[in-house]
Amino acid sequence: MTVFRSRRAVLPHGEQAADVVVRDGRIVAVEPYGDVVDGELVDLGDLVLLPGLVDTHVHINEPGRTEWEGFETATKAAAAGGVTTLLDMPLNSVPPTTTVENLKAKRSAAAGKLSVDVGFWGGAIGTNNSDLAGLHEAGVFGFKAFLAPSGVSEFPHLSKDTLLGVLAEVARLGTVLIVHAEEADALAAPPAAGVRSYRDFLRSRPPEAEHAAVATLIDAARRTGAAVHVLHVSSAGVLPLVAAARAEGVAVTAETCPHYLSFTAEDIPDGATLFKCCPPIRDAANREQLWRGLAAGELDLVVSDHSPCPVDLKNLDTGEFGTAWGGISSLQLGLATVWTEAHLRGHSLGDVVRWMATGPARFAGLDAKGSIAVGKDADLVAFDPAAEQIVDSARLLHRHPVTPYAGRRLRGIVRGTWLRGHPVGTPAGVVLRRERSDAMA
């Protein structure tokens, strides 16, 4: 038995001093501070005890593009950032997770390499509807689709017609479709060769592309009765659409990411392709609207969309946005990034836990994750919320230590991470399977 003692434990009902008792990898009791005298004591003093974060939007890319990112490096970075559970996206690996055989290849590639627990999303590409039931039975957490080109040829996007067919099957299976929501027809041509202007890139992916795609998705969900989730919301104009759909009973949830809550278009210099992501980082007024939506519960989750690539694909030498890979590496930095911005706006660590641990766990149906409570896995994080750090790329653990956060001052440092009560070290993570079908409940 191990006792985690902290004067500041973030529990489901609020922050308080507590002894968290762990046996056989599970939390078996939460007692008043100092009351438990038996067992091995982990005394955290004034460090805050958080539940391990749950990141449901991570691109690991192994197998096939392991030179971009792999299970070993991604999960080490996750643990260093206080993330103890992550769900891997079905594309950028080769093969993509669009059949049961491809899922088996993913799971085989992950064996023996996981510092944290990892589950998998399946992919819906319009031509594999007959494979979705098998993937669902095999334990994927739902299915991902694009409404605009994904950036890789082996994972095509859905048309409006194929979206309806996919959602009919998703509804039949009782699962969820998570969607990259940009309308292909509303996107402009990417900036031409040699163009270094961030404003030109931003104009090529206008907010109207997000709004149109979300409207299409909601209409299709309404017609089929399927549950849908809007990935990486960058335009706050999406939020009224989601709120109105919920009010009429459509099962729709939405997430945003640390980079949309932190950076602003005004501060991105030309040629700074490290900031390229799709949908793009928008202006400061939009960022504040996203924060208001998060506070109001219009956004359900904050997850990383960690999407790394080899350094040369970022065009750091030329600064050309048109052909640079769109993705931001932040898996290790999400907690500190969100806490830095949340603290400035008067939010509590309990809010951050709700957005980054409890909410994602509930959304994915991970009943054993996301909070410090009896019966949950003892996935725990010691966090120093007042300490500051200057992001040093050389200390990042994902495969290619490049990130737009380099040199940024962040508030909060992870001092320790435990998976099922044990310090993260040798690979002890497991492959997760969907625990229940009603993940949206």
pLDDT tens-digit readout, 73-82: 999 999 999 9
- Whose CA is closest to 351, among 292, 392, 295, 284? 295
Q: Give the confidence band of 150 by pLDDT, cuts at 50, 70, 90.
A: very high
Structural domain of residue 246, as residue ranges? 52-371+386-407
Beta-carbon contacts of 321 under 8 Å, excluding residues fewer than 6 positions away, are 190, 191, 195, 196, 197, 198, 200, 201, 273, 276, 315
Lowest mean per-residue pLDDT among 100-104, 115-119, 433-437:
433-437
Rounded to 10 degrees, the C-alpha dihedral 406/411/412/413 comes to 30
Contact (Cβ atoms closer than 8 angstroms) between residue 178 and residue 214: no
Q: Give the confidence band of 389 by pLDDT, cuts at 50, 70, 90.
A: very high
Contact (Cβ atoms closer than 8 angstroms) between residue 358 and residue 12: yes
Q: How many CB atoms lie within 10 A of CB 98?
A: 23
pLDDT for the residue 261: 98
Is 204 part of a structural domain of the chain?
yes
Is 285 part of a structural domain of the chain?
yes
pLDDT in tens, 298-357: 999 999 999 999 999 999 999 999 999 999 999 999 999 999 999 999 999 999 999 999
pLDDT for the residue 435: 73
- Across residues 180-184, what is the average pLDDT? 97
Is 435 part of a structural domain of the chain?
no
pLDDT for the residue 439: 38
Q: What is the mean pLDDT of the chain?
A: 96
Beta-carbon contacts of 220 under 8 Å, excluding residues fewer than 6 positions away, are 160, 163, 164, 167, 226, 228
pLDDT in tens, 185-243: 999 998 988 899 999 999 999 999 999 999 999 999 999 999 999 999 999 999 999 99
Is 36 part of a structural domain of the chain?
no
pLDDT for the residue 354: 98
Tokens 């270094």 -> residue: 196
- Across residues 97-101, what is the average pLDDT? 98
- Number of structural domains (the chain) is 1
Is 419 part of a structural domain of the chain?
no
Q: Give the confidence band of 401 by pLDDT, cuts at 50, 70, 90.
A: confident
36: tokens are 């438990």
CATH number of the domain enclosing 391 = 3.20.20.140
Q: Where are the alpha helices (DSSP H) in 128-280?
A: 129-137, 160-173, 198-204, 207-224, 238-247, 258-262
pLDDT for the residue 283: 98
Q: Answer yes or no: is pLDDT of 125 > 50.
A: yes
Q: Answer yes or no: is pLDDT of 426 > 90.
A: no
Is 214 part of a structural domain of the chain?
yes
Is 85 part of a structural domain of the chain?
yes
Phi, then psi, of 375 in degrees rounded to 5:
95, -15
Residue 101 host element (H or E): helix 100-110
Is 11 part of a structural domain of the chain?
no
Q: Give the confidence band of 280 by pLDDT, cuts at 50, 70, 90.
A: very high
